[in-house]
Chains A and B, each alone.
Chain A
Amino acid sequence: MNKWFKSGSPWIWMTGGAVSLSLIAVLGLLLLIAWRGLSYFWPAEVYEWQLRDSSGSESTLIGQLYDREQVPTARLESAGYEFNPYPGEFVTRYLVKTGNREFVGLDFRWVLGTDIVSESLPKDLAVFERTKNGNFYGYPVAVIEDGKRLPADNLRVMLKEHVQRAVDLNDDAMTLQKQDIGSINYELERLRLKERGYELDGELTDTRKTELELARQALNDEYKVLETELFALREAAGRDGVVVRDMRGQEVTLNLSQVLDVTYPNDMGLMTKVGHWFKSVGGFIIDDPREANTEGGVFPAIFGTVFMVMLMAVIVTPFGVIAAIYLHEYAKKGPVTKMIRIAVINLAGVPSIVYGVFGLGFFVYMLGGSLDQLFYPEALPAPTFGSPGVIWSALTLAILTLPVVIVSTEEGLSRIPSAVRQGSLALGATKAETLWRIVIPMASPAIMTGLILAVARAAGEVAPLMLVGVVKLAPTLPIDMNFPFVHLERKFMHLGFHIYDVGFQSPNVEAARPLVYATSFLLVTVIVALNLTAISVRNHLREKFRSLEH
């Protein structure tokens, strides 16, 4: 045994253990996010518990099981609980989501296992997903149409139809408000800026004044028509209601204009549940967030991330590729090249927050501020480009990801056999022609790899964006139907920041946590997929050139 120790074999095992631990950590992390993120969409059963606490008072509790933990009995006893009979050293404690926020105050509640008398899964229990106050749990009793209670036969079908009607009307109202009325407001603002612009230039003549006034009048008239329409739609949507018996045994009327969906999770088969799961995932991706981002979807965040990252890719690619070509094809060995290489390494190593600070000071305040003074004096003192926005975020991240593109492109260039270049030059092509016709096409997969890696890096970066353009809730997307259609100065939402914001800044962290896991999973999936693509492109490339070399 002693000899075995001396041979160092145990230490080899120790190093092996380190690898195993790293692997467990990586895979465990990915699994944890995947599990928590995906189970969020699974329709969980709604329980009905009969409770009796130590003082003997009984109550009913309806809700979804959220979490459970083992608590030492001693700790509970010291906190003032009494147990009779003694339940053992540990008591199970359940965290229950009770919903019905407007009636019970807190929509999460801890319940001791010892208090539970009975537990059931009634098939009639419904979950109402709502636009306000979170979920509602209860038994539907009747549908109210236009103030009249409808006969209760075939309740589920009737309820579904009425909910669908309200949802459709609400959708129409939302479209009207966001698109038509939104564009009128936008036009009005443009008119105001135009007037201010004339005023600043001293060209605000009376004819122009009347022209502007006429245009404004026309828009205001249009606005009034649309507004009436909007109110009509909203009123129509609020026509119906549903009577629900909640866990206190009281009948409560919910207005259907606030209800998004009604489900009966206890009455779902496996296939229905899978169907519902896919529907929820889809909704998560294409819906707007609700209730301070703690409910609903993440569409604006996805859109913002993708748009910003694409903008960044457009900026970073030419610079990165040119720099790599310089380093590999043109630069002579010398102090300048060495300095550039050190610059590249350092650009890759500088903390991202420093880029944020630089971006805020240089791009936003200095460049943006100057742009505002030159081109948008009429909007001042309200900044146009002089405040954080998507273009500045893209620029900042472009510098941040520049080294990624350079390193990857250079690697691709170094894999191209020099015989290929020499052949081209020998046939009389100039260096530029060789570059353009031979080298760059051959290196294009490597450039692609660099680009993908840069995009993956940018998509996950949050710290600099907090300074140069990201917000928790952007009222409008950077692209819309209003001229000039692409608004580079606007602030945007970002998946990574969404995680930070909802997880740490939201008023109801408990309720928001599953959503954060789901968002995390989405982001991780995108980034890991991008990286895997890049790796496979690179490996493919290596194989291809290896065959070329022989």
Chain B
Amino acid sequence: MALIDIDVLYKQCFRQLCLYALHYLGDLDESKDVVQECFTALIKSDSDISNPRTYLYSSVRNRCVDLLRSKKKERTAPMDDLMQISDEEAQRRSEIEAQLWAAVDALPPKRRELLLLSKRDGLKYSDIARLKGISENTVRNQIFRAIESLRSNSKKILGFLFCL
């Protein structure tokens, strides 16, 4: 059996696997637990795994489906349209999402906060302005810049044309 460097694999794949699981479970903590378990299973496994990355992706998917079933939720398909795309496409997407996550991490804290209040929490620009005691223009400006920098970041990382 080829020796797998789990540490390297973990560093490379942990985030993207979590994002992959997140499409099924919709909860980040549960997703992290599932990915953790899959890594543990991989370490313990003594069968010959030729492509550990693909193996991890499919074991994460299986575990997610099991988990949803055990909760007796009717929905065993992912929360969104992940099912309708191929496995390779889903993996590629999770990679990009992991990069985007890192790019959001790298934003200046104030700018990130405004972006999240708007895009995640669904607050209006006028509400954010009132909340933060700044002008609506500043809010719009900062959010625009945040999206700008996410765009340029992902271009750099992926060499991918990012047109928002």
A associates with B: no
